[in-house]
Amino acid sequence: MLNRIILIGRLTADPELRYTPQGTAVARFTLAVNRPYTNQGENEADFIDIVVWQKLAETAAQYLKKGRLTAVEGRLQIRNYENREGKRVRVAEVVADSVRFLDRGESNGTNSGQGRSFADDRHIDINDDELPYSRRNNDPFEGGHIDINDDDLPF
Amino acid sequence: MLNRIILIGRLTADPELRYTPQGTAVARFTLAVNRPYTNQGENEADFIDIVVWQKLAETAAQYLKKGRLTAVEGRLQIRNYENREGKRVRVAEVVADSVRFLDRGESNGTNSGQGRSFADDRHIDINDDELPYSRRNNDPFEGGHIDINDDDLPF
Amino acid sequence: MLNRIILIGRLTADPELRYTPQGTAVARFTLAVNRPYTNQGENEADFIDIVVWQKLAETAAQYLKKGRLTAVEGRLQIRNYENREGKRVRVAEVVADSVRFLDRGESNGTNSGQGRSFADDRHIDINDDELPYSRRNNDPFEGGHIDINDDDLPF
Amino acid sequence: MLNRIILIGRLTADPELRYTPQGTAVARFTLAVNRPYTNQGENEADFIDIVVWQKLAETAAQYLKKGRLTAVEGRLQIRNYENREGKRVRVAEVVADSVRFLDRGESNGTNSGQGRSFADDRHIDINDDELPYSRRNNDPFEGGHIDINDDDLPF
DNA sequence: TTTT
DNA sequence: TTTT
């Protein structure tokens, strides 16, 4: 009924982008999320699989790279399926609805021409109007922007 | 760049529903969120203002009632504005994108005829296709449902 | 570097309580977390394994029961180990540092004599002074309670 | 009953560190949390006040600086008090129990001599044994580290 | 199977 | 009162 997870970690490898037979984009990557420092000195991490769909998948595949510090928001999904050997397999993965990278790119020019959201904030979000699952955290109004401090606000 | 808050508490009063001049629905209510037990024995709580917009506002106004145990997800917004006396006022409120109630209704019949989401799960969400800010946590596919365990999945 | 998950769901069975050879209590249970309503009408859920340690393990084992609506906070842990057949196994589980139940008990008397935290709030937390990993969300002062609205507060 | 907020933003100024009459350290700073990109192009942010106590206050004051990208976890607290003019004032602030900075320091030597948690991970946490409100996310065992993959584990 |  |  409520299932929300927030992670910050580094990509263990570049994302893999694929398409379903129906043409839907899916990207996957793994986040190494370091556990709090243990006195043992060893470097423990949880390696957590992330899945992103559609437009966000393509954007993630384009900008996220191995080693990048990245914040992910989503829900934890436990999938049970039968593999080709007929064995029951349990898979845990985070279905992300928001992905942002937190360190500056290596300035290799890849980001040139990007809008403000990358040049300045380096966040990727699924705020894409044509997407069915689009989430707009910002202003919830359809057309013209409305300042919710307006005197005509009902509260 | 990341701003997420999750609360569970009880409504201090019935929600207030209003409309902007443009006809957009807005609802407000306050959640009393008890702090962890303090040895003093006193019952301390944080009274946190919640705002919900559009379709979710109308649903919240219809089903949430004073005293209901409710879970809210959203972002914390700090608004600065000038009041009618010309004084600078700071307001903190949670703009919710998900609201669910956690206790069964008092069986007063209000919920009869409701779909599964209320009869069984009693969650309200903004999974509404026509909404511009719609967030669909569930299946991110547009048309027909696709089982992501399908063998034709690219991973 | 940041790993936080918040879940609300129902126990699929009573918790199992065990002890390590060193005498440390560990409890495990599974939470069925319903996914947002899908138009298909089917009742999909993620079955998420929860682990709790020490004092919280014993409290959880005592009060949580199959079917109870429960909120859990913790971190997602991915464990890799070799099972008795020498095969590599990956396990995903939530290590909870806070567990609260959200529905009233069935009044079977089990809770009688409980302090306010159960009788009133029905939350379990690891706010236990003698615990090494104790987390106190409430007042961060050691000895006597200090009202942080006190005039002598430095801010 | 549940109150958790996670933020990523930049300090608007260096933290202010003070002490209560009882000698308890308190630090305050403000986080500018940019809202998702609005097509208007304007740069909107929520300016959210953060409070940290005790040891974490001193560490935050030492390492956090104006402009630093920082992740904060805590609870939203609404405080009502009477100011010196006898007026009722409402204050919203996040009481943080975890603070980490996400960008590398400017290598001004301030961090030299730091242990791994700063040199490598640059996270600050309240994992301090002597603190009453200490939260240890890592291994919940007091003395020697126990590998929870050990064969003698009860599950 | 893994990141800094 | 504000950050990049």
DSSP B62-128: HH--TT-EEEEEEEEEEEEEE-TTS-EEEEEEEEEEEEEE-S----SSTTTT--HIIIII-EEE---
User: Helix, strand, or coil here: C63?
Assistant: helix
Whole-number Cα distances in Å, A134 to A50, A57, A125: 18, 13, 9
Query: Is C151 contained in some domain?
Result: no
Of C95, C98, C96, C94, nearest to C137 by C-alpha is C98
Compare all CA atoms of chain B with the CA of C125 and give the residue at the minimum distance: B36
Query: Is D130 contained in some domain?
Result: no
C-alpha A27/C-alpha A29 separation (Å) is 7
pLDDT computed for residue B155 by the predictor:
75
Position with higher pLDDT, A130 vs A19: A19
Provide the domain limits for residue C32. Answer: 5-125
* Residue in C6, C97, C136 closest to D133 by CB: C136
The 8-class DSSP code of residue B145 comes to -
Cβ atoms < 10 Å from Cβ of A104: 11
Query: Is D139 contained in some domain?
Result: no
Helix residue ranges, H only, C41-98: 54-63
Which residues on chain C are in Cβ contact (under 8 Å) with D71?
A: 1-2
pLDDT digits (tens, 9 = 90+) for A67-103: 999 999 999 999 998 888 898 899 999 999 999 999 8
Query: Is A45 contained in some domain?
Result: yes
Please indicate if any CB of chain B lies within 8 Å of the CB of C117: yes
> What is the domain-level CATH number for residue B10?
2.40.50.140
Q: pTM for this one?
A: 0.78
Query: Is C154 contained in some domain?
Result: no
Task: Give the confidence band of A38 by pLDDT, cuts at 50, 70, 90.
Answer: low
C-alpha D20/C-alpha C153 separation (Å) is 6
Percent of chain B with pLDDT over 90: 54
Only one residue has tokens 């290596």, namely A106
The 8-class DSSP code of residue C94 comes to E
Cβ atoms < 10 Å from Cβ of B45: 17
Is it the case that residue B142 has pLDDT exceeding 70?
A: no
Is it the case that residue C54 has pLDDT exceeding 60?
A: yes
Query: Is C132 contained in some domain?
Result: no
Query: Is D33 contained in some domain?
Result: yes
pLDDT computed for residue C146 by the predictor:
35
Q: Which of residues 117-136 of A touch strand E (CB under 7 A)?
A: none
pLDDT computed for residue A100 by the predictor:
94
Q: How many helices (H) and strands (E) does chain C have?
A: 2, 7
Compare all CA atoms of chain A with the CA of C30 and give the residue at the minimum distance: A78
Is it the case that residue B84 has pLDDT exceeding 50?
A: yes
User: Helix, strand, or coil here: C120?
Assistant: helix
**What's phi and psi for D121, nearest 5 deg?**
-100, -25
Task: Give the confidence band of B43 by pLDDT, cuts at 50, 70, 90.
Answer: confident
Q: Count of residues for chain B?
A: 155
Number of separate domains in chain A: 1
Which residues on chain C are in Cβ contact (under 8 Å) with D137?
A: 3, 75, 97
Residue A126 in tokens: 């699924």
Type of residue numbered D118: F
Residue D23 in tokens: 């000698």
C-alpha A15/C-alpha A106 separation (Å) is 17
Q: What is the CA radius of gyration of chain A?
A: 19
Is A45 (CB) below 7 Å from strand E? Answer: yes
Query: Can you list the pairs that C64-67 forms with residues at least 24 positions away whose Cβ atoms lie under 8 Å?
Result: C64/C11, C64/C14, C64/C15, C64/C29, C64/C99, C64/C101, C65/C11, C65/C14, C66/C11, C66/C12, C66/C13, C66/C14, C67/C10, C67/C11
pLDDT digits (tens, 9 = 90+) for A11-34: 999 999 999 999 999 999 999 999
User: Helix, strand, or coil here: C101?
Assistant: strand
pLDDT digits (tens, 9 = 90+) for D30-61: 999 999 866 555 679 999 999 999 999 999 99
User: Helix, strand, or coil here: A48?
Assistant: strand
As a rounded value in angstroms, the CA-to-C1' distance for D10 and F1 is 15
Cβ atoms < 10 Å from Cβ of B15: 22
Given a contact cutoff of 8 angstroms between Cβ atoms, the answer to whether D33 and B3 are in contact is yes
Position with higher pLDDT, B91 vs B125: B91
Strands D88-101 and D123-125: antiparallel
Query: Is B118 contained in some domain?
Result: yes
